[in-house]
Amino acid sequence: MNWIVADWPWGIDFAVEKNRENGDTALFYRKSCFNRKNGDMGRLRQARLPSSIRSWGAGIGGSSFSMTVFTKGVAVSVEPVRWINNKLVIIDQTLLPALYKEMELNTAADVWEAIKVLRVRGAPAIGVCAAFGVVVGVREKAPQTIEEAHRAVNETAAFLATSRPTAVNLFWALDRMKAFAAACDASRLPAFLQAIEAEAVDICEEDKRRCRAIGEHGAALIQNGYGVLTHCNAGALATAAYGTALAVMFRAHELGKRFAVFADETRPLLQGARLTAWELQQAGIDVTLICDNMAAQVMREGRIQMVVVGADRIAANGDVANKIGTYGVATLAKAHGIPFYVAAPLSTFDLTLESGAEIPIELRDSEEVTHGFGKQTAPDGVKVYNPAFDVTPAEHIAGIITEQGILRRPFEESIESAMDRSNTTGG
């Protein structure tokens, strides 16, 4: 038997057995199983899998368990937003890495709250969640006619658009759902409801394909012996699956390249520490966690040869809005002569904005800074400024890794060309 083993932080120790005669696979939980409903550990379970082990699901604790398994020693990629049995299910990322918990979003208000408080986060994942959120909201309103269903689509989309202002994928997905509904020629209500559900599923599946393509294009940038710095989390947890910035690293690792990653902890909500370090560990990638204010020293010591981050919105001139602290990392990279790359699907580009100066920057609650994770770390009454994003100017960026390839300066031209190719090919 050929075993591929990965240890999950919540205690699942699994192995995959491949039948050499017929290609079937079996997945064995060798220690214990995680109950997603209550966080408890259960008894040994076993699940038989189809011949392809790249994507599978098995029942655990009464709910569905889904991950991506990469053979050749590359471990696991979770799917943070899924549509299962007509239900929208997300991973509550505010609890990771200490606790893995899934939750159903049964109302539009549930979806809005999950996006607002970062239970689901990352621009592509927010877009996917919002698309399914339209379906959830329409069903919640229980329309009796096609006309009522069209109105429900627009009302739900307008409501979800108020959840967060910066990640353009949110508005891209909502606009696409509205446009699809308006053009849908279904004459009967059940057919209309099935059609908008299928469109949301398409948005999710397209994001998975885009992330894979980003990984393929970006992996060539990583050379053996490189040190790669990343900020915040742009992995599978930030997308439908596989990630953007981390997709570059996952694919390079699959190709057998030897490199090390330095992950900024990413204050104030520690997405780099809680999520990126966790994902890279599960993939078996050499990862070192550093505080945000250590990046300059690590660069000065020669440990970093490239930087790769994700993006929440990219303007027509190539300016990039991403998690707060990204601009500082880009400035440090430029000072040290280190190439700084951004990885993002074309759905993250907003060509209605000429530059990053027009990108709205979300301001978040002061308690994220003064009472991080429930512990008071600042005096009562102190003033707090807490922008969630900053904008990195295009001149700091060596290239933008997209599903269409790596875009280079002048970005106005390369972005326009990539968008034209995407519109022509339909993806």
Alpha-carbon distances of 171 from 3, 312, 317, 369, rounded to whole Å? 44, 11, 20, 28
End-to-end CA distance of the chain: 40
Going through 119-225 in order, the beta strands assigned E by DSSP cover: none
Which one-letter amino acid corresponds to residue 340?
A: F
Q: Taking the CB of residue 184, how many other CB atoms lie within 10 A of it?
A: 17
Asked if residues 279 and 269 have their Cβ atoms less than 8 Å apart, the reply is no
Is the separation of the CB atoms in 244 and 211 below 8 Å?
A: yes
- Amino acid symbol at 115: I
Whether 312 is catalytic is yes
Neighbours of 20 (CB within 10 A): 8
**How far is Cα 26 from Cα 177, in angstroms, rounded to an integer?**
38
Report d(CA 135, CA 109) in Å as an integer.
13
Q: Which two tokens stand for residue 190?
A: 């059940």
In the sheet where 13-18 sits, what is the strand order? 4-7, 13-18, 25-29, 46-49
**What span, in angstroms and rounded, lies between the C-alpha atoms of 377 and 389?**
22
β-sheet with 63-69: strand ranges across: 55-60, 63-69, 76-78
Beta bridge partners of 191: none
Residue of 110, 264, 312, 319 with catalytic role: 312
CB-side neighbour CA atoms (13 Å) of 229? 31
Residue whose C-alpha is closest to residue 323's, from 387, 273, 400 = 387
Give the residue ranges of DSSP H helices in 98-145.
108-116, 123-141
Contacts of 52 (CB under 8 A, 6+ apart): none
Question: C-alpha distances in angstroms, 343 versus 117, 210, 236, 340?
Answer: 24, 11, 13, 10
Annotated catalytic residues are 312
